Structure 1
């Protein structure tokens, strides 16, 4: 007998034992599944999903939109000037510095005028000399006229005396004009404040040679401030010059009187410039940003919705879901709208919405087209009415 024939073979009893082990395992698995039953009975897979509870608002489409638009401007001094000397010269004194407040007519700086005053004294002396010559010429005229009356001189001698007197009178006027010119130059050798304001720049020090017309100081008016605001032409035409309007700044409201509307549309901004005078210049500083709020009605069908009801779509449109009745329940139907105006946490939209539609306003990430939903009124639904 070969070695192969001596190898032991599995017996019939071992096969039965293997089948029994398999049967016990299946039974234990079945018992485990049955043990997972709920208290209400065995686990059953529902054929219809439970509707998703969603908050909705009832659409109330309005025919017009009240837009509250804000326009920005900058507060600036009504007047500002770069002050310098009409003629150049050495600066003798600077009486103010940056940040100093000055009054109308206050002397801010002066040049060295010693040479000009010396020239003025000489010119005044020439005026006196010319007057003396004129007096002598007039006496000569009187004597010549007396002699002519007695027949001792001819008319020509009288005419010559009159001509000399006229020449002396002209010399007086010339000397006086030269003296007046020097007085003006002395007056222009000082810088005076043309209006009340504050010094914002100083470009020279004492002893420096200031060129003719070079800015020595920069002066900004403090008593009068204005704000220039660009508006669309249709809105600018509704404003009334002389009327007081309220502007908003970072420090609060500011009253400003409308001085003028240019009426000319600027090519770059496509707006009309309006100029407001700040009634109380102490309430705001030059350079502050101010805003003017204006309301206007736009003929536009739509309604206000919370931004949570919108999801960004394509081509500038936005998507939303409307709960519509179907087979005794409600399902979510998608729709597209266009945002006309945004105002913080809400937006005015127009599009595929009708009066009475129940618009889902939250949980859009959980909603799919055709999904069964259970609509319920949103707690703050009244805040999204047409009144805003």
Structure 2
């Protein structure tokens, strides 16, 4: 009996030793696995952030294109037809008001004027003869040598002769007006921008021969929504951006058409440019108008927006967890206004929360991150 007990005690010792070895092996394996897991866990990713700042009176700059144009621009031609005798200017020439630009051949017209003057002189002689006859007939009427009927006929003849004289004189004056219109003069100071004919050609009535543009008085015409145009009063100053120069150009509001265009749904506003500015007619400018957004929200960079389901947009919020780290949480937002590099949004984001500013391609929802500013402070 004692031998059996001794054998049982020895077996128990071996089993106990095996259990102890197994526990030690399992413990070492668990410690190694935990160490490998800790070693394989990546550090929080450093990301650039912004802070959500809500604003209830935010505004956005809206740009409206406009065209610089000369206040006066004319296509010049002759009222009568004729052969062009000379054109005294060319494209690019500056002219002053009243300066001769071109003239027609007027030899035939001068001959017509001479003939009209001769007819006027003949009519004047006939009028003088009729007037003298009327005077003599009046004396005979007083003495009773002629009847009243005869005197009325003589007086009528005198009036008809005078009418023919006036008609001849008027015809001569009309020809002299045609002579004056055979010379083209500049109606205002400007520059010649086009020449469409040369000497020797036959000009038709109303055919444009020269284009004249006024340079000293430039204006900007821009289409504005009616509610925007109503903000301006005559004399108000506005700044226009020009692509070819860094400094904006100034102009003063003159008037608006007050008629809404059927296609663009805008009214035409006219601004007078200040003189001595380095712009030219035909340039495109842009009017920047600050327009209130009218709703509470905050600005985020376009790089901070992630496209979600069903066309929704979201931003990533850096939410602190129980360990003091930050995890990325997507929050749905609504886009209110969009500019080139930023978007005005509103949604499930509290004022003052940290948002991911960029780098959406490097992150996943729930990932541990650290703001770059905080990381810099830690370093």
Scaled to the shorter chain, the TM-score interval is 0.7 to 0.9
Residues 128-207 of structure 1 aligned to structure 2 (within 5 Å): 128-207=121-200
State the superposition RMSD in angstroms. Answer: 2.4
Q: 64, 73, 78: which is aligned to 2:66?
A: 73
Aligned residue number for residue 260 of structure 1: 255
CA deviation map 1:274-315 (0-9, x unaligned) = 111112165310011112111122222221223443334455
The equivalent position to 2:300 in structure 1, one of 295, 300, 305, is 305
1:257/1:276 contact within 8 Å kept: yes
Given that 2:76 and 2:211 are in contact with CA atoms closer than 8 Å, whether structure 1 keeps it comes out as yes
Match of 2:89 in 1: 96
Aligned match of 1:287: 282
SS in 2 for 1:228: strand
- Deviation, 1:75, is 0.3
- In 2: Cα distance, 1:199 partner to 1:315 partner: 60
- TM norm structure 2: 0.82
SS of equivalent residue, structure 1 residue 119? helix
**Cross-structure match for 1:36:** none
1:274 aligns with 2:265: no
Matched-pair contact (CA < 8 Å) for 2:46–2:375:
no
1:105 aligns with 2:98: yes
Unaligned runs of 5+ in 2: 1-31
- Give, in whole Å, the separation in 2 of the partners of 1:235 and 1:378: 45
1:45 aligns with 2:36: yes
Tell me how far apart the structure 1 counterparts of residues 82 and 323 of structure 2 sit (CA, whole Å). 98
Quote the offset at 1:67 in angstroms. 1.1
> Which SS does the other structure have where 1:284 is aligned?
coil
- Are 1:94 and 1:109, in contact at CA under 8 Å, matched by a contact in 2? yes
TM-score with structure 1 setting the length: 0.80
* Runs ≥4 residues deviating over 6 A: none
Q: Secondary structure at the match of 1:359?
A: strand
State the partner residue of 2:319: 324
Contact 1:241 1:261 in 2 (8 A): no
Separation in 1 of the partners of 2:131 and 2:176? 29
Q: Output one character per residue of 1:65-123: Cα deviation in whole Å (capped at 9) or x when no partner.
A: 21122211110112222211111111111111111111112221111111111111111
1:131 to 1:122, Cα distance in 2 relative to 1, 3 A: same
Tell me which residue corresponds to 1:22.
none
Matched residue pairs, number? 340
Retained in 1: the 8 A contact 2:249–2:277?
Answer: no
Matched, 1:357 2:353: yes
Q: Deviations over 1:189-216 (max 9, x none)?
A: 2222222211111111111111222111
Unmatched 5+ stretches in structure 1: 1-40, 381-388
CA distance in 1, matches of 2:141, 2:332: 117
Residue 124 of structure 1 deviates from its aligned partner by 1.0
**C-alpha contact 2:113 2:175 (8 A) present in aligned 1:** yes
Counterpart pick for 2:337 among 341, 350, 353: 341
SS in 2 for 1:63: coil
| Aligned-partner Cα distance in 1 for 2:85–2:281 | 32
The offset of 1:376, in angstroms, is 5.3
SS at match of 2:184: strand
Counterpart-to-counterpart distance in 2, 1:255 and 1:235: 18
Q: Does 1:227 align with 2:217?
A: no
> Quick one: distance in 1 between partners of 2:333 and 2:342?
14
